[in-house]
Amino acid sequence: MGTTQYILSPREAYIAEQQWRVVKRSVDARQRELRVHLTILTDDKGNPVPKDAPIPLYEPPVFQNVHNAKRSVVIIGAGPAGLFAALTLLEHGIKPVIYERGKEVSERKKDIALLNRNEGLNPESNYCFGEGGAGTFSDGKLFSRSKKRGNMQRVMELFHYFGAPDTVLYEAHAHIGSDKLPGIIKKMRETILEKGGEIHFETCVTSLKEVTGDGLRVTGAPIILAIGHSAHDTYRMLAKEGVKLETKGFAMGVRAEHPQRLINHLMYHVDMTSRRHDELIDLVGNASYSLVTQVDGRGVYSFCMCPGGHIVPAGSEAGSCVVNGMSASHRNSPYANSGMVVQINPEDIEGDDPLRGLAFQEELEREAFKQGQAQPAPLNPPMKGGRSSAPAQRLRDFVEGKPSKDLPACSYLPGIVPSRLDEWLPAHIGKRLQQGFRDFDKKYPGFLTNDAVIVGVESRSSSAVRIPRDPETLQSVSTPLLYPCGEGAGYAGGITSSALDGINAALKIAELA
């Protein structure tokens, strides 16, 4: 078997994809005419292999029955890191016992609907906490293909095995979508339970002694700590119980939202009102972007861009306002949103407390909440208390330091209110963002427009804490048999790298005698 690479027009690529076994696909928007790079599997004679040829896509996983397994592992957190760790343990005949503070995915959906209707935040069941973790109601971008950390393709294969589309196996910028992810996560849970693993929902671990001492509690079992980066209370518990933590660099800023047609025009060089626009988008999907610049020695960059998506309230604490973005599988809302963040280094924050980054995030999130309550949100009436409404400013007004008299339509369901983000964002973030947007407009003239809006604050784009671990054993440097992993441990960022980190922790445990 071999492969052949082709550079095709979008229509040619679309037709080829229906016929042949594609092993790699990427859209190249660098030239004026869009091109699709396809790599197609070929047989020994060099002929393309038909899409439905009886050749397995990959070796399917074999999950063992662990009802009577001799070994158990406690997993705290059922996000990508925790779930992929659990699946890997099953492959090695070890019983996973998962504790998850949030609810199972269908119950979690109801709490998220209430939040979007301004009927209150459940601090234990929201966009961050609950089955599938922060990845469940997301865009489901599966970007990182880095081979450095391990077998990333295996992550894609497991997602596919549990119901993700074929594209996750070959698309350079694959994504699943928030409408499909809950079903995939549910199937993972069903497999874990059917094979004899345990999942305890609505069980927040408030002390490590709970899972090492008596009770259910699996005495002496290794613990995979996969808590994500939003469980600030759990970090504080870990610090109190003597687990070594250290501060790390992170990033904060806002979410910017443009009309999607404008982004398609800027990225694909196509007249946004033409029929050609609609035909092109049918073939290759709405455009995304990835932007980066340096301002006063700090990176300013786009983060987690969601074409055809929605801005969502992604906080987990009452009295704070945090935004993020998600898209459904078809990415077909009229809006394009992206985090726009500024790199923050540990030395930017006074003091030597390893948790000072968390306090810094919380302070800005409380200010954003206060600003978001300042006046009734003009969008999406009726409001019931405006609890999740977020502060916003038109993009050009923000850069030019002017108030916005009104705001454009926005995908953020709880509603946005006009606010002077240019005035209340800390200068080291606000000023750098202003310059960053000017730089991005030089690259894509028209990007800096008052048809776009920024919404505050995007404060949880990465973990502000690391839980240091031994690079060989992957155990905490202070606490034997504790395996910090995923985004919350500070060793991953995003769904795929967190999932892979969970797999790696489980493999290390499987190696133990």
**Binding positions for ligand FAD, rule: CB under 6 A:** 76-82, 99-102, 127-130, 133-135, 138-141, 204-205, 226-228, 231, 234, 304, 312, 314, 324, 326, 486-488, 493-495, 498
- Sign of torsion over alpha carbons 101, 105, 111, 116: positive
The CA distance from 460 to 255, in Å, is: 11
The CA distance from 70 to 263, in Å, is: 55
Closer residue to ligand FAD, CB minimum distance, 210 or 451: 210
CB of 494 to ligand FAD, least distance (A): 3
Q: What is the distance, to the nearest Å, from the Cα of residue 504 to the centroid of all Cα atoms in its chain?
A: 19
Paired sense of beta strands 250-259 and 453-458, if any: antiparallel
The CA distance from 344 to 428, in Å, is: 9
CB of 74 to ligand FAD, least distance (A): 10
Closer residue to ligand FAD, CB minimum distance, 286 or 498: 498
CB of 258 to ligand FAD, least distance (A): 18
Closer residue to ligand FAD, CB minimum distance, 139 or 422: 139
Closer residue to ligand FAD, CB minimum distance, 100 or 422: 100
Closer residue to ligand FAD, CB minimum distance, 234 or 434: 234
Closer residue to ligand FAD, CB minimum distance, 48 or 182: 182
Q: Which letter does DSSP use for residue 405 in this model?
A: S
Q: Are 459 and 425 in contact (CB under 8 A)?
A: no
Closer residue to ligand FAD, CB minimum distance, 199 or 266: 199
Q: Are 333 and 309 in contact (CB under 8 A)?
A: yes
CB of 63 to ligand FAD, least distance (A): 20
The CA distance from 223 to 215, in Å, is: 16
CB of 306 to ligand FAD, least distance (A): 7
Partners of residue 24 on adjacent β-strands = 39
The CA distance from 321 to 122, in Å, is: 14
DSSP-H helix ranges across 323-426: 356-372, 395-400, 421-424
- Sign of torsion over alpha carbons 153, 156, 157, 158: positive
CB of 126 to ligand FAD, least distance (A): 9
CB of 332 to ligand FAD, least distance (A): 16
CB of 108 to ligand FAD, least distance (A): 9
Closer residue to ligand FAD, CB minimum distance, 49 or 81: 81
Phi, psi torsion values for 136, nearest 5 degrees: -70, -50
Closer residue to ligand FAD, CB minimum distance, 141 or 265: 141
Q: Are 108 and 130 in contact (CB under 8 A)?
A: yes
Burial (CB < 10 A; 0-12, 13-18, 19+), residue 47, is exposed
CB of 365 to ligand FAD, least distance (A): 13
Closer residue to ligand FAD, CB minimum distance, 133 or 182: 133
Give the position of tokens 């290759």. 284
Task: Tell me which amino acid residue 222 is.
Answer: P
CB of 354 to ligand FAD, least distance (A): 18
- Residue 81 contacts by C-beta under 8 Å, 6 or more apart in sequence? 133, 224, 226, 228, 485, 486, 487, 488, 492, 498, 499, 501, 502, 505
